[in-house]
Amino acid sequence: MTEEYVQMTPNGYAQLQQEIQNLKKTRPAKIKALQHARSLGDLSENAEYSAAKRDLRHLESRLRYLDKQSRLAKVVKPTSSTMVEIGSTVDVEFLDDGFRATYQVVGAHESNLATQKLSFKSPLGAAILHHKINDISTVEAPEDNYAVKILTIHPAK
């Protein structure tokens, strides 16, 4: 099985590394909590032991996932201010209602609409990727298709 690169922005990679470091710092406390709960006796009816074991498993699972993401990371920096790429910040207009919005196109794991970060794999992100200013692109969303116009592509920060 060949593994695919995980494309992300430099900021997304830095956040990934920070989360790994934060989780590694909490690991000793989770292990200590598990050891303490184990010392309390009967493990079959020990809710504290079950919770500590579950917490440690969750932490280890998250670390394995993040480590894999980190190993497969391909940090992408936009090279053009005239074409939408991963890392580009883009002003778009939704042609059906005239609504305008600004998004940064980012890697899939970085996306967060609350902070205007849009995955390049999302319907809107995929529709505008590799397009230029004034291009009109059709977004093929699960519920409906709609058109957006690229108004501005901001230089990378």
Specify the fold of 6-75.
Helix Hairpins (1.10.287)
Q: According to CATH, where is 1.10.287.180 located in the chain?
A: 6-75
Helix (H) or strand (E) holding 137: strand 136-140
Q: According to CATH, where is 3.10.50.30 located in the chain?
A: 89-154
Q: What per-residue confidence (pLDDT) applies to 40? A: 76
CB contact at 8 A, 139 and 146: yes
Q: What per-residue confidence (pLDDT) applies to 36? A: 86
All residues at 6 or more sequence positions from 102 whose CB lies less than 8 Å from its CB, including other chains: 89, 90, 91, 92, 116
- pLDDT tens, N- to C-terminus, the chain (157 residues): 556 888 999 999 999 999 999 999 999 999 998 888 888 776 677 788 888 999 999 999 999 999 999 999 999 888 878 899 999 999 999 999 999 999 999 998 899 989 999 999 999 999 999 999 999 999 998 888 999 999 999 876 6
What are the tokens at 138?
A: 């059709």
Specify the fold of 89-154.
Chitinase A; domain 3 (3.10.50)
Q: What per-residue confidence (pLDDT) applies to 141? A: 85
141 backbone φψ class: left, alpha, beta (φ>0; ψ -120 to 50) = beta
